[in-house]
DNA sequence: AAATCATTTCGTAATTTTGCGAAATATTAA
DNA sequence: TTAATATTTCGCAAAATTACGAAATGATTT
């Protein structure tokens, strides 16, 4: 009851992948690459994305680290592609996470003791 | 061709939601809340999650700001629930993003000029 | 060998995130 | 009114993220 828990692999993986998806540049790259069978030169990307070359390189590195993309070398160019296997795994992971709802079940302890509820506004 | 682009609403929204999902504590909370019709006291959560009360409060605030949860007041308790409407919107958004692949189509410019490709290892 | 080219790594700075304890807030109980 | 309770806000520190230009890397062309 009062034991702190270790997060499951699933929770940690979703957090890790979400972190990779937490920047517009990286979402854009993934959106583009996931739609193509082929790959993109970093040089092609830098022309359409409003960041410098070294910054783009960092974002690509992060996506590579997260396993979502992979590179292919053809010097002096480097092409990046979606890592289909991991992309499909991410797809599976998010689909489960987002759809595994049981809105009928009530599982929270003190759930029934709620009276006089008033909805909070969602301000910040 | 060389014009820098503004990111679409879709790309920005996915990045924003992903940021909210980019921490295990927040993923855990959402996983739990999305599975219940009811809500959770912050006090219930702090017993199972390995962070202090003020830190938990901050995570809840972020999820509230992202629109994924909402609070209900029953002083001195505050219950948090999933914001079903926005949760379903997020579901829709990610489903589209993750499944809108066209692995057959080749759309990258210099795509055909690749020879001698060798796969990069996914190290960091 | 020297120049060129695409990309990455390095060094650095600004900003954001994460975490905690102490203090503040707001309601209920004594 | 005072004490107790649950949660949030504040102040702060450590760490991570984001961004850029300059320098380094690695391969090709002259």
How many helices and strands (H and E) does chain A possess? 5, 4
Q: Give strand C nucleotides closer than 7 A to any protein Cβ.
A: 5-11, 17-23, 26-28
Q: Give strand D nucleotides closer than 7 A to any protein Cβ.
A: 4-11, 17-23, 26-28
Are the beta carbons of B108 and A41 separated by less than 8 Å? Answer: yes
Backbone angles phi, psi at A26, to 5 degrees: -75, -35
Point out the residues of chain A with pLDDT beneath 70. Answer: 1-4, 75, 102-124
pTM (two decimals): 0.84
DSSP B69-100: EEEEEETTEEEEEE-HHHHHHHHHHHHHHHH-
Judge whether residue A103 contacts strand D, using its CB and a 7 Å cut-off: no
- What confidence category does residue B110 fall into, taking pLDDT thresholds of 50, 70 and 90? very low
**Which range among B42-46, B69-73, B93-97 shows the weakest confidence by mean pLDDT?**
B42-46
Distance (Å) from CA A42 to C1' C1?
Answer: 30
Are the beta carbons of B18 and A19 separated by less than 8 Å? Answer: yes
Query: Hey, is the C-beta of B65 within 8 angstroms of any chain A C-beta?
Result: yes
User: Is the confidence at residue B87, as pLDDT, over 90?
Assistant: yes
For B18-41, write each residue's pLDDT tens digit: 999 999 999 999 999 998 877 777
Q: Say which DSSP state A35 is in.
A: T
> Chain A contacts of B104, Cβ < 8 Å?
37
Q: Which residues pair with B82 in a beta bridge?
A: B69
Residue B76 has a CB neighbour count (10 Å cut-off) of 6
Are the beta carbons of B18 and A27 separated by less than 8 Å? Answer: yes
**Whole-Å CA distances, B108 to A95, B3, B120:** 28, 16, 20
- What confidence category does residue B115 fall into, taking pLDDT thresholds of 50, 70 and 90? very low
The mean pLDDT value for B97-122 works out to 50
Are the beta carbons of A77 and B110 separated by less than 8 Å? Answer: yes
């Amino acid at each position: 009851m009062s034991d702190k828990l270790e997060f499951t692999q699933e929770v940690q993986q979703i957090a890790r992948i979400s972190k990779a998806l937490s920047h517009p540049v990286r979402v854009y790259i993934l959106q583009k690459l996931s739609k193509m069978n082929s790959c993109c030169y970093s040089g092609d990307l830098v022309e359409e994305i409003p960041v410098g070359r070294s910054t783009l390189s960092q974002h690509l590195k992060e996506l590579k680290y997260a396993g979502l993309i992979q590179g292919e070398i053809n010097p002096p160019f480097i092409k990046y592609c979606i890592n289909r296997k991991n992309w499909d795994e991410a797809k599976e992971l998010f689909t489960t996470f987002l759809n595994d709802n049981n809105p009928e079940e009530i599982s929270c302890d003190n759930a029934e003791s709620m009276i006089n509820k008033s909805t909070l506004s969602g301000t910040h």
